């Protein structure tokens, strides 16, 4: 039985209705993201990458200007905004209408991206932990918000993976934040369990095995495992060799109710969505 539930997102006053899982293509305008092939730093390359993603079936684009890789270079909010501005200009020159989420944990960057750069959604890897103004900012902007689970910072998270029950604790922490956001008036909340963020390999697979339980939050579920270490470490391969493993986990996630797949490789994810739909939604 397919666990996916149709969902809606309010995009700047227009209600978008989705009756199948979506594919979100990753564009990183950074020099140091963990997957080198995802890095794009010039306008023409961004345009080509976005055009290819849309042709291959991307429903949304996720644009990031600050790498969350442990040890990545710190950049100022203005540098992050400048990178995102160039990325958004390139994206909009290719497609003026595709929804774009901004991958940032800074409220200042989030506000500028929505009010000045024509972005639509905020994707916060810290779930509000790294900027205590983020929840109020999202509420003021009245935009969809992707709430990811993480503990600590990208530099400290690997030491914060002690759980008595990783599934129960991640669910509880997300649930508490959903309540806080709801009280502030944030209506469109997408949840992300945060695979790889303050979780070791075993804990990531425990979350994957229990992913159906996240449907109790009654929010669209985003899964972002693309080429992550939970794939390449146990298989003793590299991120570059991790496409097949990514597709396997994306398929498991779709069967467990994932509404959005955040990926570097759009074509393979879109094919997985189509085959799952053909199999279970005739």
Per-residue b or e along 181-200, where b marks 16 or more CB atoms closer than 10 Å to that residue's CB: beeeebebbbbbbbbbbbbb
Please tell me which residue in 177, 219, 227, 262 is annotated as part of the active site.
Answer: 262
Residues 6+ apart with CB under 8 A from 40: 27, 28, 29, 46, 49, 87
Which 3-state string (H, E, C) describes 8-63? EEEECCEEEEECCCEEEEEEECCCCCCCHHHECCCHHHHHHHHHHHHHHCCCEEEE
d(CA 200, CA 229): 9
- Is the separation of the CB atoms in 280 and 266 below 8 Å? no
| 162: nearest Cα among 132, 128, 200, 126 | 200
User: Is 228 designated active site?
Assistant: yes
User: Is 262 designated active site?
Assistant: yes
d(CA 48, CA 25): 13
Please tell me which residue in 228, 267, 274, 281 is annotated as part of the active site.
Answer: 228
Render 196-211 in DSSP notation, one character per residue: TSS--HHHHHHHHHTG
Catalogue the active-site residues: 228, 262
């Amino acid at each position: 039985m397919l666990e996916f539930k149709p969902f809606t997102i309010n995009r700047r006053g227009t209600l978008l209705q989705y009756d199948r899982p979506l594919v979100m293509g990753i564009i990183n305008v950074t020099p140091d993201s963990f997957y080198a092939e995802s890095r794009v730093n010039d306008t023409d390359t961004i345009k080509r990458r976005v055009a290819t993603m849309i042709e291959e079936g991307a429903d949304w684009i996720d644009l990031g200007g600050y790498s969350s890789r442990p040890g990545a270079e710190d950049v100022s909010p203005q540098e992050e905004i400048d990178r995102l501005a160039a990325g958004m200009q390139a994206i909009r020159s290719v497609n003026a209408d595709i929804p774009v989420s901004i991958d940032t944990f800074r409220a200042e960057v989030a506000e500028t991206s929505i009010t000045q750069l024509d972005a639509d959604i905020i994707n916060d890897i810290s779930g509000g932990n790294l900027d205590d103004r983020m929840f109020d900012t999202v509420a003021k902007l009245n935009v969809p918000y992707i709430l990811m689970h993480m503990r600590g910072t990208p530099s400290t998270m690997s030491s914060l993976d002690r759980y008595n029950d990783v599934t129960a604790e991640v669910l509880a922490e997300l649930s508490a934040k959903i309540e806080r956001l709801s009280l502030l008036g944030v209506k469109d909340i997408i949840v992300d369990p945060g695979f790889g963020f303050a979780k070791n390999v075993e804990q990531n697979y425990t979350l994957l095995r229990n992913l159906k339980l996240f449907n109790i939050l009654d929010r669209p579920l985003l899964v972002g495992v693309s080429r992550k270490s939970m794939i390449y470490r146990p298989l003793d391969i590299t991120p570059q060799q991790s496409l097949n493993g990514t597709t396997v986990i994306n398929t498991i996630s779709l069967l467990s109710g994932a509404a959005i797949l955040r990926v570097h490789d759009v074509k393979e994810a879109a094919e997985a969505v189509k085959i799952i739909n053909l199999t279970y939604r005739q």
